[in-house]
Structure 1
Amino acid sequence: MASATGAASHPVPPSLSLPPSQFARLQPHAYLLAHLSPPAASNQPSIRANGRASSQFRVTSANAGSLTHTNGSAVVRMGDTTSVCGVRAEILRTEDIASWSVSRTSNEASNKRRRLAELNEKPNEEDEDTAADDEEDRAHIEDLNLLVPNLSLSTGCAPGFTPGAPPSALAQSLSHQLLSLLHSTRLVRADDLRIWYQPPSLGPEELERHNDDEQMDVDPNPSGGVEDHKNREIKGFWVLYIDVMIISLAGNPFDAAWASVLAALRDTKLPRSWWDVDSEMILCSDNVSEASKLSLRGLPVASSFCVFEADAAAGWRAVVIPDAEEQKARSQKKGSQQRWILADPDGYEENLGQERICLVVDKEKGGKGKTVVLKMEKHGGWTVDTDDLRQLVDISARRWDEMKRILDQC
């Protein structure tokens, strides 16, 4: 009883230190800075608050074919950010396109120019054909809106997204970024979306019965060549509605959304379709084995970064042009760690980083060739220089290898 009375009369004084969770909420900048720049006497490595290194991405997983009522689907998870993408294909008939007669006239002009190049046997014939095909692909996909991405942030994916609210500015911005990247990378080929009709041609026997003199102009070889497809017509297009939903948002939604779009398009299959002359409509086959996958151009992978500065006021200070001495002092001070470029930032780090970089890279020859930068976007600051961008390209190239392995296994 004496010990119990003594313990009650001398209570334990409350601790004056804050737990890490409360310290992170009250002083987020100081909390992240303490992890990235620990005291030299502590012998602790420089790591982020989430335990990752500066150039380390979150654990990524992908699963394709998760949705049943779509032509292609995928679920991609990067850390606690999860994106679901479903691709639905619908038929757009050319007779429903108001400007199709004008575009068909331009296509006939390009085909005529191509036939003239074949007759003249120009040395740059292949280049002209490739340029004409690329322009035709761009005109069909962009002008006819054959790719329609739409991103939505589901209710409860993050605090602040309440039910019944209109689409946020973030969702609209991400939808526009997806559409812009689909067009700039030319990921989907327009030829995979075209529905052709080949008019029947009279064979040699029919022509011989009608006119024996014209028998010499008939090619008896029925194999498919250039002349066999000269008179074929486009009767419709496949329109791909790419619906993306972020069901869990914990930072860097664009990389997760774009990865889910890549995985879903690689999983997309279009049924065999043809123009039926009797019913004058486009018919599709129910046989799943006859469906064909999209032949995508490469594998563009997006990698996002943010810059965290040790000086919390560096973001809102007025920008002045330094003189020679000040610029020299800044370059010398740059040797000390005053900023960190963080790969794949989470929601906590995005609120503290003011400068952001997004790189989209691809590798030629299925990963065995050189790295090609398809997009480079930087905004919000001025601290990242050319050397930093070169390092980020190398990091993005390693990220490409990792994403290719993940997408090939899903």
Structure 2
Amino acid sequence: MASSSASTAAPAAPNSLSLPPSQFARLQPHAYLLAHLSPPSSSNQPSIRANGRAPSQFRVTSANAGSLTHTNGSAVVRLGDTTAVCGVRAEILHTDDIASWSVSQSTNANKRRRIGESEKETEAKDEEDRAHIEDLNLLVPNISLSTGCAPGFIPSAPPSALAQSLSHQILSLLHTSRLVQAEDLRIWYQPPNLGPEEAQQHNDEEQMDLDAGANEEETKPAEIKAFWVLYIDIMLISLAGNPFDAAWASVLAALRDTKLPKAWWDVDNESILCSDDVKESQKLSLRGLPISSSFCVFEADAAAGWRAVVIPDAEEQKVQDSKHGSQQQKWILADPDGYEEGLVQERVYLVVDKEEGKTVIVKMEKLGGWTVDSEDLRQLVDISAQRWDEMKRILDQC
């Protein structure tokens, strides 16, 4: 009896101070991420995020074009657990339905008559292209988050502030990058020249008009009869952080997949006709390949952002700290997920392109905070250039 009781050991009491990682992440999210990014110096481990990525590492990205039917172009882009679906629909806008079309055409004609130098003619043409794209609203992006993509977005709900902000960002980038050329969206009509045989078929009054205009140019100028309007619809079917990069990548892939049917002005019916032959359709000739890269700044001091708002001389305090060598510890995280976005206040958006091997900054935005300096921005441009090479390879394969 004594031996049996001695062999039966009592179970060890659980440590009441230990918490599973999942509960620690929910109760103390800032401390949980900080513990990953700043491991003990004795461990000799590099900084790693809670999701297992390095600070400058992007999530696994995939793209698939031509996924939707009944669209002129479509694509599905997955950035980690964030997935965006984009479809491009092309509709015809007749110039007769544009109230200010006759006035704008006469103004542009007068400008072209006054300009004689080729360089100024090019500038006038670029300005006309910009006016057609922006003033006539030929590009209409719309993003929808009311798909149950995240717990905070209820299906069939009205557009949220985030959805409207993302739609405005995409439209602004489409205009800034001048990605779509206005010439691809114009539907032209070349009036025929009336020869001698055709002139005899007109009455005397028309014949007098022809005689009066005999000294004019034989070839009549081409006329723009209509435009293609591209409705760019983006739906986020899952949202786990960084929605802008995923949405913009889906727009790029869908526009690269877009084909517009051959269209012409039919004089007899006085309307625009389109060809049913798919072989006659043409792709858009896009300008470059602007790629967006998003970053966020995580600070070791959780109250740094609040202190910058409360203390009037926060900027002076930052300069003094840098002089004394007490620099605030920070990490710039590429492609933040939803968990990381809830812990940061300062964000950086970079859109870059490459021309003849040189990196070109198309757009740059920095929101909230003052920790990112010029040296950090140079490093982010280099990281964005590497991201451009990766995204180009992905988009070329889709």
TM-score (norm 2): 0.90
Amino acid of the structure 2 residue aligned with 1:15: N
Name the SS for the 2:306 alignment partner: coil
Query: Matched residues in 2 for 1:320 and 1:352: separation?
Result: 23
Give the alignment partner of residue 349 of structure 1, picking from 320, 340, 347: 340
Does 2:155 match 1:163?
yes
Q: Partner amino acid for 2:369?
A: G
Letter in 2 for 1:390: R
Residue 113 of structure 1 deviates from its aligned partner by 3.2
| Residues 264, 331 of structure 1: alpha-carbon distance in 2 compared, 3 angstrom cutoff | farther
Q: 1:234 aligns with which of 209, 224, 227?
A: 224
Letter in 2 for 1:81: T
Quote the offset at 1:374 in angstroms. 1.1
* Mapped contact 2:84–2:250 kept (Cα < 8 A): yes
Cα distance in 1, alignment partners of residues 318 and 189 from structure 2: 70
Aligned to 1:364: 355
Range 268-277 or range 8-17, more displaced: 8-17
1:185-213 per-position Cα deviation (integer Å, ceiling 9, x unaligned):
111111110111100013588789999x9
Alignment deviations for residues 287-341 of structure 1 (CA, whole Å, 9 cap, x no partner): 0000001111111111110000000110111244369897343345466x70000
Against the structure 1 CA distance between its residues 41 and 158, is the aligned structure 2 distance closer, same or farther, given a 3 Å change threshold?
Answer: same
Q: Deviations 1:364-396 (Å, cap 9, x if unpaired)? A: 13xx2x111111100110111111111111111
Distance apart, 1:102 and its partner CA: 1.0
Who is 1:83 aligned against? Answer: 84
Instruction: Select which of 110, 113, 118 maps to 1:126.
Output: 118
Tell me the distance in 2 between the aligned counterparts of 1:331 and 1:408: 48
The normalised TM-score by structure 1 is 0.87
Aligned to 1:222: none
* Equivalent of 1:145 in 126, 137, 140: 137
Q: What residue number does 1:375 align with?
A: 363
Q: Which blocks of at least 5 consecutive residues in structure 2 are unaligned?
A: 202-206
Q: 1:384 to 1:199 in 2, by over 3 A?
A: same
Equivalent in 378, 385, 390 of residue 397 of structure 1 = 385
Q: Distance in 2 between matches of 1:218 and 1:208?
A: 19
Whole-Å separation in 2 of the counterparts to 1:189 and 1:284: 20
Unaligned runs of at least 5 residues, structure 1: 118-124, 220-226
Range that drifts further, 285-294 or 149-158: 149-158
Matched residues in 2 for 1:149 and 1:237: separation?
A: 17
Whether the 8 Å CA contact 1:73–1:87 is kept in 2: the answer is yes
- % identity of equivalent residues: 74
- Distance change (3 Å), C-alpha of 1:143 and 1:21: same
Aligned to 1:51: 52
**Superposed CA RMSD:** 2.8
CA distance in 2, matches of 1:332, 1:409: 51
Q: Distance in 1 between the 2:226 and 2:103 partners? A: 15
Q: Give the match's secondary structure for 1:315.
A: helix
Distance 1:322 1:146, change over 3 A: closer
Name the amino acid aligned to 2:362: L
**In the alignment, is the contact (CA less than 8 A) between 2:189 and 2:222 conserved in 1?**
yes
Once residues 231 and 374 of structure 2 are traced to their aligned partners in structure 1, the CA distance between those partners, rounded to angstroms, is 38
SS at match of 2:319: helix
| Aligned-partner SS, 1:171 | helix
After TM superposition, the structure 1 = structure 2 runs for residues 245-284 of structure 1, keeping only pairs within 5 Å, are: 245-284=235-274
Measured in 2, the distance between the counterparts of 1:358 and 1:126 equals 37
Aligned-partner Cα distance in 2 for 1:371–1:208: 62
Q: Any residues of structure 2 matched to 1:62-73 within 5 Å, and which?
A: 62-73=63-74
1:33-73 Cα offsets, whole Å, 9 max, x none, are: 11110001122211111111111111111100000110000
Check conservation: 1:204, 1:218, Cα contact below 8 A.
no
Distance, in Å, in 1 between the alignment partners of 2:5 and 2:70 is 71
Asked if the contact 1:266–1:294 (Cα under 8 Å) also holds between the matched residues in 2, the reply is: yes
Secondary structure of the equivalent of 1:177?
A: helix
Q: CA deviation at 1:4?
A: 9.9
Q: Does 2:44 match 1:40?
A: no
Give distance in 2, aligned partners of 1:139 and 1:323: 42
Name the SS of the counterpart of 1:86 in structure 2.
strand
AA partner of residue 397 (structure 1):
A
The residue aligned with 2:289 is 299
Return closer, same or farther for 1:145/1:322 CA change in 2, 3 Å cut-off. closer
Q: In structure 2, the residue corresponding to 1:352 is in which secondary structure?
A: coil
Deviates more, 1:398-407 or 1:282-291: 398-407
